[in-house]
Amino acid sequence: MGIYSIVFDRDPKDFSRQGGADARDALYSCVEMGDLARFEQVFGDFDDTLMSLIKDDRTHYKFTIQYVMAQLELIAVRGGLSLMECNELEDRYYRRLETTASPAEAVALLKDHCRALTEMIAECRELSPITRECRAYVQSHLYDDLSLPAIAAALQYSESYLSHRFREDLGQSVNDYVRQMRIARAKTLLRQDCSVAQIANMLCFSSQSHFAVAFKKATGLTPSAYRKSLPDGS
């Protein structure tokens, strides 16, 4: 079923007649494969169909773009990105989407979001297998012991080899990456009802003050200030 049969309550055949299904499938394949060489042409074909359907819609076009972004997130996870990476990127674009003033502006924003996912997947595919394994392990064990010895033991690599290959691939240490991912998860938790102390404990920071210092260093705000900066209903 095409996206517009859902968003616009149209018959899937109507969507297909406009070339929408083929353009959509080509775009999703391009993103999943991290195919930057084909991106401009593929998105251009999808853009033509998208704009033909929402160019006169001044009421629901943002919902349409949100729907496509959500589908792209699922495609990107299939392409090798973590759900956390996709969620953080999507969150930034959702916020920008709210300030768009026209369907054309929203589609341009969607293109930026789609290109960013494609670039991230392309970069991920260039990483060594050990680094991909390490990233995946960290992202799925953020509430557990993620010291270098613990990760190396879980993945059955030597600490020195894991540390060397990870830094060689990403230009940062395993510990720095763990901290970065935990701060990203903390941002999500701060949108919920968890207290700052609970978040610090859940994410294995040694204390609430240690968490606050790390969070401010990464974001420029304390956890409490970040929570206050969030729009209502975020």
Tell which CATH architecture fits domain 129-229.
Orthogonal Bundle (1.10)
- For residue 198 the two structure tokens come to 């609970």
For the chain, give the mean pLDDT.
Answer: 87
Spatial contact of 63 and 69, defined as CB atoms under 8 Å apart: no
pTM: 0.68
Q: Compute CA distances 189 → 77, 186, 194, 196, whole Å.
A: 21, 5, 6, 9
Element (H, E) at 158: none
**CB proximity list for 108: less than 8 A, separation 6 or greater:** none
Kindly state the tokens that stand for 17.
């007649």
Under 8 Å between Cβ of 224 and 196: yes
Strand intervals (E) in 37-158: none
Question: Which helix (H) or strand (E) element contains residue 143?
Answer: none
Query: What is the C-alpha to C-alpha distance for residues 180 and 157, in angstroms, rounded to an integer?
Result: 22
- 120 pLDDT tier (thresholds 50, 70, 90): very high
Per-residue pLDDT tens over the stretch 56-102: 777 788 888 988 898 898 899 888 887 778 877 888 898 899 899 99
Answer for the pair 107, 47: CB distance below 8 angstroms, yes or no. yes
**Tens digit of each residue's pLDDT (9 = 90 or more) over 153-183:** 999 999 999 999 999 999 999 999 999 999 9
Yes or no: say if 183 and 214 are a contact pair by the CB < 8 Å rule: yes
pLDDT for the residue numbered 92: 84
**CATH 1.10.10.60 location in the chain:** 129-229
